[in-house]
Amino acid sequence: LRSASPARQPIALLVAGRPSPATAALRSRLASGLPAEHHVAIELGPLALREALSLAKSIDPSLSEGETEAAWRRARGSPFWLDALLRTRGSDPTTVIGERLRALTTDAGAMLAVLAVTGRPLAQEDLARLLDWTAPRVDHAARELVARGLVHASGPGLALAHDLIRETVAAGLPATTRRRLQTRLVEWLEASAGDDLQLLSEALGHRLAVGLPTASLAAQILESPRRRLLGPDNLRTLASISDSLTPGSVEQLTIERNLGELAGLLGEQELALARWTRASVHALDPAA
C-alpha cells in the first residue's frame, strides 16, 4: 500500500476484523504510513431492529416479529449471535459456542472460566494474580481466546465478547470449580479494595453467591467514608444480610444502626424507619 501511492498504482484493500491488538496495530500502521484521504476506518455497531427483522426473514420467513425482537435484544444487535439465536428459535446456541470451547487449550479454558465468574473486564496483570500465572502464560492464553472470538480487548483489560458466552461458560462450570474461583476472587478483591466501595460491593456479591460469611464485610461497607455513593439496590442487599443474622445479635444491631442512618441520609425513609425500629427493639440499653 505504501509503495502504491508514489507509483500511482490503483489498489483497494478491504480488511475486516474483530477488536484485537492485531486490528489496532494495523489501523495504527495505516494511519502513520498513508495520507489521511487514502484510508478510512468504519466501526460496525449493532444491527437496528429493522435490520434484524430483515435478517430474520432471510433465515426463516416463519419467524414472528416478537421472536425476532426477543432474540435481537438478547444478542444485543450482534449479527453473529442473532443468527445463532434465530436458527435455534431462541434457545441457547450452545452448539455454536460449545464448538469453540471444546477446541480450547487447558489454559485458555481456565482463563475463560475466571472471566465468566467475574462478569467484568480484567487486566492481564489481575488475571495473572488470580490464576497465579506468569505474564507470558497469561498473554499466550489471552491471544488464543481473542483469536477464537471469545474475548476482546476492553480498554486496558480483557472481556468476554458476548453475554451469551458468559452464560454458556458459567452454566457448564462444576459447582466446586465455581466456588473455588469465587472464593479466590473474593480474597483478591478484598485484599486490593482498600476503601474502594465498588470493589467491596463486588466482593460482597461474590460472598453471597458462594455462601461465605457476609456480616463483617457488610459492616465495613456501611462504615466506609464513601458509603453515601451506595444505591437502593446496595441498601436492599445489606438489609437482606441483616435479616439473615441472629435477631438482636451485636452484628445485626451494628448493621441495623448504620443502615438506618445511611438510609435516612439517602432519602430511603421507609427503610430507615424499619431499621431504626428493629435496632430500638433489640437494643440492650433503653437510652440507646
pLDDT digits (tens, 9 = 90+) for 21-51: 778 888 888 888 888 888 888 988 899 999 9
What is the predicted pLDDT for the residue at 284?
A: 74
Q: Which pLDDT does position 163 carry in this prediction?
A: 86
Quick check: 255 and 222 in contact, CB under 8 A?
yes
Kindly write down the DSSP assignment for every residue of 168-179, as one continuous string.
HHHHHS-HHHHH
Crossing angle for the helix pair 49-59 and 79-87, to the nearest 10 degrees: 40
Burial class (CB in 10 A: 0-12, 13-18, 19+), 102: exposed
Contacts of 255 (CB under 8 A, 6+ apart): 215, 218, 219, 222, 238, 241, 242, 245
pLDDT at position 214: 93
Query: What residues contact residue 256 under an 8 Å CB cut-off, 6+ apart?
Result: 242, 275, 276, 278, 279, 282
Please give the pLDDT value at position 94: 66
The answer to whether the Cα torsion of 67, 120, 182, 244 is positive or negative is negative
End-to-end distance of the chain based on CA atoms, in angstroms? 79
Q: Is the dihedral of CA 167, 235, 268, 220 positive or negative?
A: negative
The answer to whether the CB of 203 falls within 8 A of the CB of 190 is yes
Q: How is residue 205 written as a grid cell? A: 456479591
**What secondary structure does DSSP assign to 68-95, as a single string?**
HHHHHHHHTT-HHHHHHHHHTTTS--HH
Q: Are 226 and 245 in contact (CB under 8 A)?
A: no
Question: Quick check: 207 and 213 in contact, CB under 8 A?
Answer: yes
pLDDT tens per residue, range 169-202: 888 889 899 899 999 999 999 988 888 888 999 9
Give the Cα separation of 258 and 244 in Å (integer).
16
For 40, the enclosing helix (H) or strand (E) is none
Longest dimension (CA), the chain: 93
pLDDT tens, per residue, the chain with 288 residues = 778 878 888 888 898 887 777 788 888 888 888 888 888 889 888 999 999 999 999 998 998 999 899 989 988 898 888 888 888 775 566 666 777 788 899 999 999 999 999 988 999 999 999 999 999 999 999 999 988 888 987 777 899 988 888 888 888 889 899 899 999 999 999 988 888 888 999 999 999 988 899 999 999 999 988 898 888 889 999 999 999 999 888 889 999 999 999 999 999 999 999 999 988 888 777 777
Q: Which amino acid would we find at residue 78?
A: S
CA atoms within 13 A on the CB side of 248: 5
pLDDT at position 58: 93
Q: What pLDDT sits at residue 260?
A: 92
Q: CB neighbours of 137 closer than 8 A, spacing ≥ 6?
A: 107, 128
Give the pTM: 0.70
Grid coordinates representing 245 are 443474622
Instruction: Quickly tell me which residue has 449479527 as its cell.
Output: 79
